[in-house]
Chains A and B, each alone.
Chain A
Amino acid sequence: MTAAASPLRRVLDALPITVFVLLFIYLSVNSNSFLSLPTLELILKQAVPTVLVSLGLATVIIAGGDDVVSGGIDLSIPATAIICAAIVADQLTNREATLIWGLVLAFGAAGVIGVVNAGLVVWVRMTPLLATLATSVAVVGVTKVITESRRIGVTDPTIVFIRDGQIAGIAAGVVLTAIVALAFWHLVHRTRWGMNLQATGGSRDAAQISGIATNRFVVQSFLLAAFTGWIACTFVLARGSGSSPGSEENLLLEMVLATFLGAAFSPRRVVTVWGAVLGAVLVSALSVGFISIGVNVFWTGCIKGALILLVVASAAAGRAQ
């Protein structure tokens, strides 16, 4: 970002935002209900699990650098959310345990996943992409053993409250997620710890020379990511009224899309916490919007893919200018 940015660069910089604005105008004009409070609430409610896992991914990317292959990435967060949901559902429905006990067990599982990821990346020095892809597959496998590949319904009142309840007139899930997002924003962008975390991702060597224990921050970022997976599990349970096998794939795609989309909207084109939140809400808005104007649901993957490519291609072209 130099002061003398070329006109072409400015056009490229504005391209993703322009396309999104145009899409929203198109959706509002073509659907009577798109620009209404109930739709807005639906959009936010739908975005909840994606927002939470994107917070985790953003933290890992901020600590590891934004090169997808050699930098930081955690593809196992959605699988973590799904296995935690499976553990809680299994405890509640099949073993008649309390919600607290289920959550404690799930927290342990998430902790193990976080430690394994951190160990593989920091100690074994595997690339995060490979390490977290592999743990993700293992976690999905273990989830199948827990659920026997079946859906487990949940009727716990707390879970139902997160799904249907309201806090101050706003959907409970949205309020709770907003609190978590604010906490992450404060932690990563407003504290000393967060500054060190950003320094670690910005340049590992420079951070190390200035005395930051970089490995510690990378480890903590993976633990935080697993933690967001754990938090997301209650919302996954609430949304599906139980745990369903195979729902991690869609969450994974939405998480990656939301986080990198968020980067395109930040002034320096870097992954940020609020960018990830905004990205997740935009992705959800598009999904809801396209359904509301009756676009075939099979097209949504195509549209999302094209959007990812548009955003990253214009960012890459902008950098080259």
Chain B
Amino acid sequence: MRAVLARYGFLLIIAGFFAFFSLYNPAFLTLGNQMNMVEGSAVLLILALGMTLVVALGGIDLSVGIAFDMGAAFAVVALKEYDASWQVACLVGVLGGVGVGVLNAILIVGLKVSPFMATLGTFFIGSSVQRIFTNGGGPISHRRMPQEYRDLAVGDVFGIPTEIIIAAVVLILYFIFLERSILGKRVHAIGLQRSAANVAGIPVRKYMFVAFIIASATCAIGGLIGSANIRMFTPLAGFSYLLDAIAAVFIGASIHPKGRPNVIGTLIGVLFLGMIGNGLNLMGLNFNLKDALSGLILVGALALAVGQKRLR
């Protein structure tokens, strides 16, 4: 019994919430709503995957939201001010994220600042830059963006929303890279014991440098979808994903047999958070009450997810 709880405790909780929401409101179980739920989780999944990579390396990235914002800002400005094609805009957006990653990487690998403080600094600077650039935080809207760019968020391929397809592609790439390749094994080795990895001949600094850039670039892809969805760049919008991304990664790590951050676990964590948000919405609760409840559920879920490891 104890062993079952230790291994599957959190999955039982997910099943419990799923059953509760289905019984409370039959609309929850409909295919349309389930699709909405998955689609609504796509952007968070992309950011959480970037976070998974950094946490697997033993770090943390508080600037995922800034990378998201930069992706959106660069792409929207390229489309609006420079009349760029949608492909160029996407590329420029991802490069915006790369810029954030390079700053993090220089601070962490070059100047040996701890990832927490470095990415917190990046967060300060990135937020401030957005305020300066937008004169205090006004959105940059672009109603007449190319349909192809807009389709990143609202289009579909054979009936499957593009958002889901993009997130799935990122998911598969991350899975192959982090869980099935020798590169991923080395990333986990660095996260488990950095000095041992160094002695074993892994170029730790090079790995960390590249990983922080990849993580920020990934988050910028989320920013592209976000800006395509609302046809504007909203400054500081990425901040709202930060805690959910961290939570998803740690929920995912807690269901892993060895307690490591991992791609499939992160997917489950993201879907759990998506389900809670969607389910509470369907209960028709007051907006403020919904925020409070989802915060309390998050604390409880994290406590159970982390606590179940202790049963082993």
Contacts and interface: CB of A to CB of B under 8 A. Distances in A.
Interface stretch (B14-22, B38-46, B83-91, B124-132): B124-132
Interface string A49-77: 00000000000000000011100000000
Contact of B295 (A67, A130, A142, A299): A142
A interface bracket (residues with beta carbon within 8 Å of B): 35 or more
A296 B133 CA distance: 12
Given A68-B114, A69-B60, A124-B307, A130 B121 contact: no
B243 A134 contact: yes
B288 A149 contact: yes
B12 interface: no
23 contacts: A68-B116, A68-B117, A120-B299, A129-B60, A131-B302, A134-B243, A137-B243, A137-B295, A137-B299, A141-B288, A142-B296, A144-B288, A144-B292, A145-B286, A145-B288, A145-B292, A298-B135, A302-B129, A308-B117, A312-B118, A313-B111, A316-B112, A317-B112
B31 interface: no
Contacts of A125: 306-307, 310
A312 B120 CA distance: 11
Interface of A: 67-69, 116, 120, 124-126, 129-131, 133-135, 137-142, 144-145, 148-149, 253, 256, 260, 296, 298-306, 308-309, 312-313, 316-317, 319-320
Contact of B296 (A141, A296, A301, A304): A141
B136 interface: yes
Contacts of B135: 298
B101 to A, nearest CB: 16
B247 A134 contact: yes
A309 B247 contact: no
Interface in B114-153: 114-118, 120-125, 127-129, 131-132, 135-136
Nearest to B112: A316
A134 B118 contact: no
Contact of A305 (B128, B136, B291, B298): B128
A308 B124 contact: yes
A7 B160 CA distance: 63
Closest 10 CB pairs of A and B: A305-B124, A301-B128, A138-B295, A141-B295, A302-B128, A141-B292, A298-B131, A305-B125, A68-B116, A309-B121
B193 interface: no
Contacts of A120: 299, 302-303
A144 B291 contact: yes
Nearest to A316: B112
A247 to B, nearest CB: 15
Interface residues of B, number: 44
B121 A308 contact: yes
Contact of A126 (B286, B293, B298, B302): B302
Nearest to B304: A124
Contacts of B121: 305-306, 308-309, 312
Given A138-B299, A298-B131, A312-B117, A133 B112 contact: no
A73 to B, nearest CB: 8
Given A120-B299, A253-B124, 16 more contacts: A120-B302, A120-B303, A130-B246, A133-B246, A141-B292, A141-B293, A141-B295, A145-B288, A298-B136, A302-B125, A305-B122, A305-B124, A305-B125, A306-B121, A308-B117, A312-B118
Nearest to B60: A69
A184 to B, nearest CB: 24
B183 to A, nearest CB: 23
Nearest to A303: B128
Interface of B: 60, 107, 111-118, 120-125, 127-129, 131-132, 135-136, 243, 246-247, 250, 286-289, 291-296, 298-299, 302-303, 306-307, 310
A301 B124 contact: yes
B306 A69 contact: no
A126 B306 contact: yes
A230 to B, nearest CB: 20
B136 to A, nearest CB: 6
B243 A124 contact: no
B243 to A, nearest CB: 5
B238 to A, nearest CB: 14
Residue among B115, B127, B288, B289 with most chain A CB within 10 A: B288
A129 B61 CA distance: 12
B134 to A, nearest CB: 9
A301 B310 CA distance: 41
B289 A145 contact: yes
Contacts of B291: 140-141, 144-145
A291 B306 CA distance: 45
Given A124-B310, A140-B295, A312 B131 contact: no
A304 to B, nearest CB: 6
A274 to B, nearest CB: 21
B309 to A, nearest CB: 8
Contacts of A305: 120-125, 128
A130 B302 contact: yes
A301 B293 CA distance: 31
A312 B135 CA distance: 29
Residue among A140, A298, A300 with most chain B CB within 10 A: A298
A142 B310 contact: no
Contacts of A253: 124
B15 to A, nearest CB: 22
Nearest to B126: A305
Nearest to B310: A125
Contacts of B302: 120, 126, 130-131, 134
A148 B116 CA distance: 33
Contacts of A137: 243, 295, 298-299
